[in-house]
Structure 1
Amino acid sequence: MSVNARQVIEALKSRYAVKESASVNVNTEDVTQFLRNLNPDQIPKDHGILETVAAQKTEWVLAGQDIAILHSIRDCMAMVFRLVDLEEEIAVRLRQVTPLVSADLLEDPCAPLNPGKENIFTIVDLLMDATIGWSADQGRAGEKLLMQVDEVFTGLTGDTPDYVVLQNSLNDFLGKEKSRIQKLEERLAASESGKLRSQRGRTIAVESMNNALEGKLLTQNMVNFLKGPWHESLQLIAITKGVESDEWIRATKLTETIIWTLQPISEADLEKANAAKQRLYRIMEHLPGEIEDLLLAVEQGSDAAQATLETIEEDHVNIISGQELEYVDFDLFEVEGTRIAKGPAVSRILLKKVNNLEPGQWFTYEDNDKIARIKLVLKLEDVKQLLFTNRNGMKALEKNYDEMAYLLSSGVIKPLNHASVFSSTFSTIYEGLIEEHQKKLKAAKQADQEEAEREAARQKAIEEAKALARSREEEDQRRKEEEKEKRIKKAREEAAKSENRERVAEITEAVANLNIGARLKLPAADGELEECKLAVRVAAADKMIFVNRTGIKVGDYTSEQLTTLLVAGEGEIDDAGVEFEDTLAQVVSKLRQDRDKSYDDLTGSES
């Protein structure tokens, strides 16, 4: 992930909800210097470096980015110690780097995200990897390692630590240690691998043979063969070819077939019994050749091999001739004086964990309340055996796959994290926080965009509604005009009749005398007559505007149009209204009469 310091700081401030204070009174450089000078005894075990700064510098108000970084260090260090299990003597030393890591991160928040660059993270990774197998009982080699660790920590706490020099020095020491230990491990693996294969081969051969023999009927000849040269041959195949080989699979199936040929045929049905016998005869015909191919314990073609095959053929001849076989009692094999019990099979999931183990992995092994640190140095897949050593390259433990699967599942053996745990913990947490913050920003941007789109859609809907309303209003007005024109046209036709000539003249005069406020009944939108009054009369344009009781316009007409409607009976004049000039004259006359009256006369009060 390619990031810059600003992205790291913004992500950390978002994670820890840090707001910038207006009263910041200390710069990052001063905080960094304070951390580098911090006494190791003052470093808290819970990694709360921010609380340590606050407790010792009560007057300081840190910048938001410094607070966020110090918060993150507490969480990252806590995670490191959850992931890795170190001896307390090593853990104490590791805690001492907390203020140094804090100082480096304040100077460069991207430090954990720069793989390959020498810094405090790569050095601590090396130290943790080197000390994961350390314990106090490792003698001089353990003491030497501890001295080197202390030397590195001393270099880290200097005024200007040179990470390149420190890392090169540590690599030189660890390289020599690795070479020394590797020689011991290789020598041990070479000497033990043959023993483990032989031991495991014998054990597997015994288990396989016991599984095949248990509950079966055998003659003395067959007991001698199976527990003698055939058992020895199985061991040789397991040791030399491996238990996953085709030869081993073929040998175990052949063992079952040999034993099957001696079991009584118990078919009650005569036809089925005869069929079983025919199958048995066919198998017995080819059996000697197959046995001879896998009879590794006896030289092929030798007199001993021929004698061995003849003892088997003796029983088979008796079967073919119909003679009764004489079965004998026999014991199953024992290993080291203990009968091998058939236990429950280990699950595939548990075995898969063992199959995925790689040499070089470290574990803790608890035995009688004591915990040892062991390293897997040898994995023999053919015989399913594992060999472990301590850090000094000395043999510590050997287990087969099934045993290891059980010990892992029960927690007796636990895997240890040690490869780049320190740097990877910081980088993983930082990258996760950055990714989370970017998702939040993206979500916020998306939300703003969606809100803007919703607002735009709302405005568009409003405009469309207004446009639709205008369209409907225009359509309604057009329809009204059409209705009006139809009525006027019809009224004109009626008014044009000769018998209405006098009425036209009469109504024309009445219309001409209509005053503001005149009350009429005129056609509404539905054609029904509606009470209305003359609200406006524009003489110059010969236009009269009528409104209903609520003040809503009913229509506008010219004198000719209104006359035509009235003549045709499409309207009625209820009240012609008071002429404005008459009203005005009355008001002026009244004012003149009252001009010479006193206040008391006007108000009606007595002096």
Structure 2
Amino acid sequence: MQDAVPQDQVRIGARLVVELLRINAEEPVTDKIRLTPQRTRHAQAVLNDYLAKIQSSLLHTDTRSRVSDALVDQCSELQIALPIAAPDWGGILLLDALFDQLQTQRAMDAEAGAWFACLRLLTVRYALADYSFFFAPQNLLRRFLNQAYLTLLSSTAKSRTLYWDKLNQYAKRMLDGFQGNVAVVNSICIEAQAWMAGQSEKVEQIEERLRLLEVTKRKEKVAEPRVVQEFNRIAAGRHLPPEVIDFLLGEWRRSMLMMSMREGDDGPGWKRQLRTFESLVELCEGCRDDAKRDGYRGFYQVLMKNIRASLISVSSASTAMEQAMEPLELVLTALISGAVPPVAEVPAMEVPVTRVVEAELDRVSPKALEAIEQIEEEDWLRLKTSAGQYELCKVVLKASGDDPWVLVGQTGKTVAKKSARQLALALEGGVVQPVQKKLYWDLQLDTNLGNLRESWIEMREQLNRAAELEEQKAEERSSSRIEDLLQNSSLSLVDHDHDQAELEAPAQGPQSGADDVQNEADSQDSSSGEAFVVPHPISEEELSAALAAVDTLQVGGWIAQETSEGEQRCKLAVKIRASEKMVFVNRLGIKVLDIQRQELARLLVHGAVTILDTGAAFDSTLERVVRTIQKEKK
């Protein structure tokens, strides 16, 4: 494999993949394997038999090796060399290299590496039967391996508890059931996709609650000093009835804090609250003056209406609203009526001060800080634990400045709160490892096929240059012959155009024939991929698994569909059981997909649709883990 990564990633289609794998087909190390340009049914059947024998021996001996090496060993006793199509051999070598690279990755511990190793031969056999594994990210097995890779990046006991048993079950069922028919593997992958989507639902809800909680804390941190400052400006040191003071220090202060967090210091609601606050204090003090009291009677009803409108802390609870307002209304009514209730001085609220602790400033490289800043919310990181294990966690909230980011693990538990600078230091120290947005199988297949494409383009350019050079030499030879004939001619009148046409005709003949051969070769090349990329019809087993997965979708569940503009996420808004119609909307609530249950299942089999969240109750295993976490927090 080449190390260079093409700068411009292009979408590689089915026919081009065949040619690229042909380039990747190095000559076998044994003469017992013979590479052929095309597939034949007989040779393909023999190859499948040999791969099945290898698979059977691996199941009994539990040994894991390169598929290419196993084939060489299996063919060592053959009298006649085993014919293998060059693209198939190139595909085997490519997947062998990717599995070898996966085993050497730091991200994979021994347990996870062994899980992938047991699927090596099955993946090779599947890919040879369905070439879409190489070029289509929506291929079902490829998606399953990507999801498993992401899941197994976390090596802690809690994270493994969630998924390990299920992943082992799916792998065993694939190995036991696959006999060359990709439908068996696809149906299991569809089932796994639906199950994993169900597990993620509650965790995502926990993540969202944690994110909102952290956002609220940060807004409160900014809003609290503002509320205290305005409270002290308007009421501190003033003499008001105790009932009014209790109201101001209670629900009114909470409402001011909520409004300040919601609107900041320039919102209309916040400004209205301040004016109402000032009017309330003015009324309480003004009613003690007999000359001014009558002027406040007409204003009283408007003031009470404004107070109720601004009391947002209990706006959704009528009982709590009445409990908060009743003492205030009683004392204000008494003041308006001429009563003189006792008063007390309003205490000044203490302004919260952010404590600054002196510490030695660790230097962090701009490169590490830049790498951290490029991480977005919903991206994944691996954090090294004190026990030397790794915890996979998602960036739920990305903060700015020195505010902490919120990282949540696969169980929904907050793993860490670190600032960007702290994460950059951890990145330099190897404690933090960013996870690529494009997961292992997509990244490596795209990279390696992209590199092969560069080689293919270079080879074609060399062939074109050689053809142009040969054509130029032919033209020079033709011109030389014409000049010799003209010089030796004894005719006084020569039809130069006619002679030149006659003389050039033989020179063009071979080149024209070469062009015909080249055109025929191009035609063969364009159709050569058809023997390797044969779409298979949807089997009953695949359709049954897909329908079962579709039936797990409840209102509120999410899917992702492939469109011409990329992946589009949409939520199930309506599910009509009688007509089996399902209506999906985007995040704005606009309908984007109206589809029948059967058709959605077919799209699921083809990989054009992925279930992200079933919207249903999640598995009891995860439920127990989440409940344990919640108890620990209490």
TM, length-normalised to structure 1: 0.49
Q: Specify the structure having the higher radius of gyration (Cα).
A: 1
Higher RCO (Cα < 8 Å, 6 or more apart) = 2
